[in-house]
């Protein structure tokens, strides 16, 4: 319930009027009753609560109710959330779970209707959401937009199914989010003209400016894996009305450290206008997605962030709808017990099932990059022992495996560079977009062992290093925990440390691993059906002739 009438004072930052002034805000019934200038105020700044304009809450490995408890201590009052991940596992049941969980806490979750379930026909997923389901979702007041349209080739080539989905969004007057990494020129123009209004996948300034030129807004992403802040932040100076901040994917240990407040403080310290920064994480998302987050205006919901200063955004207190939810790094509302819906069929495998007989002496290898979702493919001499292609840790060429979790099927196998493991294997059931089992390792015994650990627990992230192994179980759809966020963050941090002790130099090895099956991001990825060329959108051979 909202606090009974109260007031706060300090240096108020009015993002609508673009002015800061000492004043007092009075709250009644969860809404701002009045805002007045005053000489005698507390030594603190008062800001509108922050909004993450695009996130997959599932990637925090926390249910929405528990995500909220970690995010609110950083000044977050709302997230624009795409439940695409759980939808690919559980379909409509998964989306309803997210909505029920989010409704149990003060933080606002503005959910979208996933546009690409399954994401592609080139992988196995657990569900399908078609035009009929989208019509039902978008017709609800609880669904605020059509989420990222990843099938950009379908958009620019007028695919009937894609066009029907866009038409449903138009019918219900809901905005459409984009997802078109690298798309520029006439193709970007056609994409925007079809009704796509945003993109969070830009990784160069030229690409972002090109899309802005076609009327799109750019979400500057800084997540646990993909980090585009430095490349794109200058847009805040040239096109402040077209910029929002987002995380996209945020692992629990990173969420413990901060959220959108870190991006805002960073931009302000770099010299960007505080009002342009604040509008990117409050006013702009409110206007674009038709949200009801408060902006410190009379009559608004009392979404009030109180911080030490504008340059560090260290959150002292946070109110959402007049409810006192966080103070000095502590969440003030309790954890809730969540359901654990799941869809997991895969069985245990043997090391022998991972053997790869040499088809030639040259193989295609995936190269992973730290902090990026994109990869590149390159040709390499195969390391062959007794007629079998084996990992070569000396050249950082490891074995990558994806196993269908929805039905019994043989594993898909490829080779990958960039993980740097010197021994053992790591694995996960978080593998965008379909969340099959994915593992990378230096030898078949450890790879099979880590996969079997995931199978036994019906989801998780894990490592195996000879006789040593550990897992963070993820019983909610195989992608989220039912534990408290601080516990999940600590367990994840331990696993992350183990992966790095095994040789990985990646900042977030498990997060990077989760994107190695993301077929809609080029160049070369692995699905449960085989090695996939993300530029040509076709399967390709492991062996080069």
**pLDDT tens digits, 308-340:** 999 999 999 999 999 999 999 999 999 999 889
Residues 281 and 355 in one domain: no
Q: What is the pLDDT, as a whole number, of residue 158?
A: 94
C-alpha 327/C-alpha 322 separation (Å) is 14
Q: What percent of the chain has pLDDT over 70?
A: 99
Spatial neighbors of 342 by CB under 8 A, at least 6 apart, are 89, 90, 458, 459, 475, 476, 477, 478
Q: What is the pLDDT, as a whole number, of residue 1?
A: 66
Residues 247 and 394 in one domain: no
Q: What is the pLDDT, as a whole number, of residue 371?
A: 75
The answer as to whether 278 is a domain residue is yes
Evaluate if residue 442 carries a pLDDT over 70: yes
DSSP 3-state of 196: strand
Which parts of 101-205 are beta strand (E)?
108-113, 143-149, 176-178, 198-199
Total count of domains within the chain: 2
Evaluate if residue 231 carries a pLDDT over 70: yes
Higher pLDDT, 24 or 373: 24
Evaluate if residue 30 carries a pLDDT over 80: yes
How far, CA to CA in Å, does 202 sit from each of 139, 205, 317, 369?
A: 30, 8, 34, 16
Evaluate if residue 404 carries a pLDDT over 70: yes
Residues 268 and 361 in one domain: no
Higher pLDDT, 371 or 524: 524
Q: What is the pLDDT, as a whole number, of residue 373?
A: 83
**pLDDT tens digits, 144-198:** 999 999 888 899 999 999 999 999 999 999 999 999 988 999 999 999 999 999 9
Domain boundary among 292, 317, 338: 292
DSSP 3-state of 283: helix
Q: What is the pLDDT, as a whole number, of residue 521?
A: 85
Which pair of tokens denotes residue 544?
Answer: 């080069």
Q: What is the pLDDT, as a whole number, of residue 520?
A: 83
**pLDDT tens digits, 107-126:** 999 999 999 999 888 999 99
Find tokens 């905005």 and name the residue. 175
Mean pLDDT estimate for the chain: 95
**pLDDT tens digits, 490-515:** 999 999 999 999 999 998 899 899 99
The answer as to whether 5 is a domain residue is no
The answer as to whether 256 is a domain residue is yes
Domain boundary among 292, 325, 359: 292
Residues 164 and 237 in one domain: yes
Residues 257 and 359 in one domain: no
Which pair of tokens denotes residue 409?
Answer: 């099927």
The answer as to whether 298 is a domain residue is no
Average pLDDT score over residue span 286-292: 97
Q: What is the pLDDT, as a whole number, of residue 374?
A: 87
Residues 280 and 355 in one domain: no
C-alpha 120/C-alpha 526 separation (Å) is 13
Evaluate if residue 4 carries a pLDDT over 80: no
Residues 382 and 478 in one domain: yes
The answer as to whether 219 is a domain residue is yes
The answer as to whether 332 is a domain residue is no
Q: What is the pLDDT, as a whole number, of residue 119?
A: 84
> What end-to-end distance do the CA atoms of the chain give, in Å?
68
Which pair of tokens denotes residue 54?
Answer: 């695009």
C-alpha 514/C-alpha 373 separation (Å) is 9
Place 535 in a pLDDT band, splitting at 50, 70 and 90. Answer: confident
C-alpha 15/C-alpha 446 separation (Å) is 54
Average pLDDT score over residue span 198-222: 96
Evaluate if residue 283 carries a pLDDT over 80: yes
The answer as to whether 319 is a domain residue is no
C-alpha 75/C-alpha 285 separation (Å) is 16
Residues 132 and 226 in one domain: yes
Q: What percent of the chain has pLDDT over 90?
A: 92
CATH number for position 211: 3.20.20.140
C-alpha 262/C-alpha 265 separation (Å) is 5
Provide the whole-model pTM. 0.92
Residues 92 and 229 in one domain: yes
Query: Of 317, 341, 283, 322, which is closest to residue 89 (Cα–Cα)?
Result: 341
Residues 358 and 268 in one domain: no
**pLDDT tens digits, 443-469:** 999 999 999 999 999 999 999 999 899
What single-letter DSSP state applies at residue 337? -
The answer as to whether 498 is a domain residue is yes
Evaluate if residue 358 carries a pLDDT over 80: yes
Residue span of the structural domain in which 76 resides: 50-292
Residues 374 and 514 in one domain: yes
Residues 402 and 523 in one domain: yes
Query: Of 461, 455, 447, which is closest to residue 511 (Cα–Cα)?
Result: 461
């Amino acid at each position: 319930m909202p606090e009974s009438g109260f007031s706060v004072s300090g240096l108020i930052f009015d993002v609508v009027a673009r002015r800061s002034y000492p004043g007092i805000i009075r709250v009644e019934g969860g809404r701002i009753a009045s805002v007045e200038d005053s000489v005698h105020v507390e030594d603190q700044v008062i800001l509108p609560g922050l909004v993450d304009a695009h996130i997959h809450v599932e990637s925090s490995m926390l249910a929405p109710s528990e995500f909220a408890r970690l995010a609110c201590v950083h000044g977050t009052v709302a997230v624009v959330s795409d439940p695409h991940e759980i939808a690919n596992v559980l379909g409509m049941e998964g989306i309803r779970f997210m909505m029920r969980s989010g409704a149990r806490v003060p933080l606002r979750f503005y959910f979208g209707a996933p546009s690409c379930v399954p994401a592609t026909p080139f992988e196995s997923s657990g569900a399908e959401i078609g035009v009929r389901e989208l019509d039902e979702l978008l017709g609800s007041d609880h669904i605020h937009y059509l989420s990222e349209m990843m099938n950009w080739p379908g958009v620019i080539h007028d695919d009937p199914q894609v066009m029907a989905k866009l038409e449903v969004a138009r019918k219900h007057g809901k905005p459409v989010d984009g997802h078109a990494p690298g798309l520029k020129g006439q193709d970007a123009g056609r994409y925007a003209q079809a009704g796509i209004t945003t993109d969070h996948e830009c990784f160069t300034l030229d690409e972002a400016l090109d899309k802005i030129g076609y009327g799109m807004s750019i979400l500057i992403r800084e997540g646990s894996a993909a980090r585009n802040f430095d490349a794109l932040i200058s847009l805040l100076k040239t096109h402040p009305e077209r910029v929002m901040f987002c995380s996209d994917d945020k692992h629990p240990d990173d969420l413990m450290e901060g959220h959108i407040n870190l991006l805002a403080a960073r931009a302000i310290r770099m010299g960007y206008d505080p009002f342009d920064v604040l509008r990117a994480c409050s006013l702009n998302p409110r206007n674009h997605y038709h949200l009801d987050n408060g902006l410190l205006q009379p009559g608004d919901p009392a979404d009030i962030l109180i911080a030490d200063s504008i340059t560090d955004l260290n959150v002292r207190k946070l109110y959402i709808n007049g409810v006192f939810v966080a103070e000095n790094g502590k969440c003030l509302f309790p954890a809730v017990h969540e359901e654990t819906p799941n869809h997991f069929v895969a069985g245990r495998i043997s090391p022998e099932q991972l053997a790869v007989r040499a088809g030639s002496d040259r193989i295609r290898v995936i190269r992973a990059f730290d902090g990026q979702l994109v990869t590149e493919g390159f040709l390499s001499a195969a390391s062959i022992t007794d007629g079998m292609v084996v990992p070569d840790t000396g050249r950082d060429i490891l074995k990558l495996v994806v196993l269908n979790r929805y039905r019994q099927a043989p594993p898909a196998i490829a080779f990958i560079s960039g993980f740097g493991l010197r021994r053992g294997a790591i694995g996960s059931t978080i593998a965008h977009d379909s969340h099959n089992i994915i593992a990378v390792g230096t030898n078949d015994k450890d790879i099979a062992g880590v996969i079997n650990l995931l199978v036994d627990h019906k989801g998780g992230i894990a490592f195996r290093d000879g006789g040593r192994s550990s897992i963070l179980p993820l019983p909610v759809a195989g992608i989220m925990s039912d534990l408290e966020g601080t516990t999940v963050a600590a367990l994840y941090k331990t696993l992350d440390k183990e992966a790095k002790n095994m040789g990985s130099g990646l900042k977030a090895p498990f997060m990077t691993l989760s994107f190695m099956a993301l077929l809609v991001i080029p160049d070369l990825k692995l699905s449960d059906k085989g090695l996939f060329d993300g530029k040509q959108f076709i399967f390709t051979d492991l062996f080069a002739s």
